[in-house]
Amino acid sequence: MIAFLLLAVLLLLLACALFVLPALRYRGETETVSRDQLNKRFYQRRLHELAHDEREGVVSERARHIEDLQRALLTDIPAAAPPPRSPLPRWVLIPGVVVLLAVALGLHGLTGGASQVLRWRQTVNEFPALRARVLTTQGPPLSAEALSRFAVGLRAELQQHPANKQNWLILGRLGVVLNNADMATQAFAKAWRLAPGDDAIALDYASVLTRSADPGDNGAGNRLLREITAKQPHNLQALDLLALNEYQQGHDAQAIALWREVLGRLPAADPRADALRQHIEQAKAQGGLEQGALRVVVTLSPAAAAALPPSGTLFISVSDGQSPIPVAVKPLPMSRFPLSLSLDDSNAMIPERLLSAQRQVKVRVRLARDGTAQPQRGDWFGESTTQPFNGNGRVAVEIDQQLP
């Protein structure tokens, strides 16, 4: 600010000097040559020429030529000399200087952003109080206008302390809140360069990159998210962002697999489950992908076939291989064997645990003679091993055991 004021004063002084100095150097008629002086110089020059011509024999009757020259000189004498002009008074320059300064200052006031500078200085002075309000959890939340002023003050502080990664991180989150993508991206980039090993900052940076309209930013965000998930394979936020990025780039199968992984790791009754299921359905519709299903082939051992009751119910349950609580259950009336059937998300026990979200499955098949879901003594059953599952698969189960 001081440098700007000094430069403005110097420019004003230069403008005044360019206006005043030419007038001060004006000296009236003192340096002009009068008409009489010109005639006198002409007369003397002609006399020298006549003398030279007479010596050379070019002219004769020098006296007559001199008389003619004098007569011509007399006829060129003006009747009266013009009155000399007085020099310009210096005091008349004062109004001009005043007008020059007034115009310069007025134009600066209109176009120089003086009011913006004053508001900026006021915002910088209010920054400590705004920072205290932002960082406290008490009191009403700040308005968008107050957050914008806080961002201005934070930028001013970062100009003096550019290595403060925490302030860059706060500025980036302010950009997200204020819907200023450029400010958020630049601030998170600064914070990430100051702390490239901080996964929390990297996740914030990747979040704004994946939401950018620039394909180059999307690619950089994808690479950053893959680095995070490689180090933290159970980071659900990173997996969700990576799935969204894959979906935006048209990689629907990869997006569905990632969202299913996130869905399978969410706790029961998590409010995010519905949104994830919607994302999965949207990706299926966009990519023209069929709904995932688990195909099960059921056979009987010779002992089970010999003891097969004439009627009953077949219960097919699928678990994740770790919890005894089934993910999906499908009851069927007794039928011929071998039996082929399929299970999908419509057979899920609860909406929060979908079959398509499982990464591994274990199938159990039980023959209930009385048709009840509760296992009874003497029921025949069979189990598969725990097998990997990616949304589609086939499992074979042989009923070869009997409950004691």
Which of 68-72, 320-324, 379-383, 391-395 has the highest mean predicted lDDT (pLDDT)? 379-383
Whole-number average pLDDT of the chain = 79
Query: Can you point out the beta strands (E) in 234-283?
Result: none
| Residues 332, 298 contacting (CB under 8 angstroms) | no
Residue closest to 209 by CA, chosen among 232, 225, 230: 225
User: Cα(68)–Cα(80) distance, rounded to whole angstroms?
Assistant: 23
User: Is residue 252 very low, low, confident or very high in pLDDT (cuts 50, 70, 90)?
Assistant: confident
| Residues 220, 185 contacting (CB under 8 angstroms) | no
Distances (CA, A) of 12 to 107, 192, 218, 239, 283: 13, 46, 51, 62, 66
| Residues 361, 318 contacting (CB under 8 angstroms) | yes
Helix (H) or strand (E) holding 393: strand 392-399
Cα dihedral value 102, 105, 107, 112, nearest 10 = 180
User: Is residue 29 very low, low, confident or very high in pLDDT (cuts 50, 70, 90)?
Assistant: very low
What pLDDT does 79 receive? 55
User: Cα(236)–Cα(203) distance, rounded to whole angstroms?
Assistant: 11
For residues 321-336, b (16+ Cβ closer than 10 Å) or e, as one string?
A: beeeebbbbbeeebee
Task: Provide the residue count of the chain.
Answer: 404
What pLDDT does 28 receive? 47
User: Is residue 222 very low, low, confident or very high in pLDDT (cuts 50, 70, 90)?
Assistant: very high
Distances (CA, A) of 154 to 129, 193, 326: 12, 19, 53
Residues 128, 134, 135: CA angle, nearest 5 degrees:
90
What are the pLDDT digits (tens) for 113-154?
555 555 656 566 666 666 666 666 666 777 777 777 778 778
- Token pair recorded at residue 263: 């869905």
Residue closest to 105 by CA, chosen among 176, 35, 8, 185: 8
Gap between the terminal Cα atoms of the chain: 91
pLDDT higher than 60, residue 26: no
Return the domain boundaries, the chain: 116-287, 294-403
Q: In degrees rounded to 5, what are phi and psi of residue 39?
A: -65, -40
User: Cα(67)–Cα(228) distance, rounded to whole angstroms?
Assistant: 114
User: Is residue 271 very low, low, confident or very high in pLDDT (cuts 50, 70, 90)?
Assistant: confident
User: Cα(191)–Cα(205) distance, rounded to whole angstroms?
Assistant: 9
What are the pLDDT digits (tens) for 52-62?
777 776 666 66
Answer whether CATH 1.25.40.10 is correct for domain 116-287: yes
Q: Considering Cα of 149, then 150, then 151, then 155, what sign does the dihedral take?
A: positive
Token pair 């910088």 is found at: 124
What pLDDT does 190 receive? 92
User: Cα(279)–Cα(277) distance, rounded to whole angstroms?
Assistant: 5
| Residues 146, 173 contacting (CB under 8 angstroms) | no
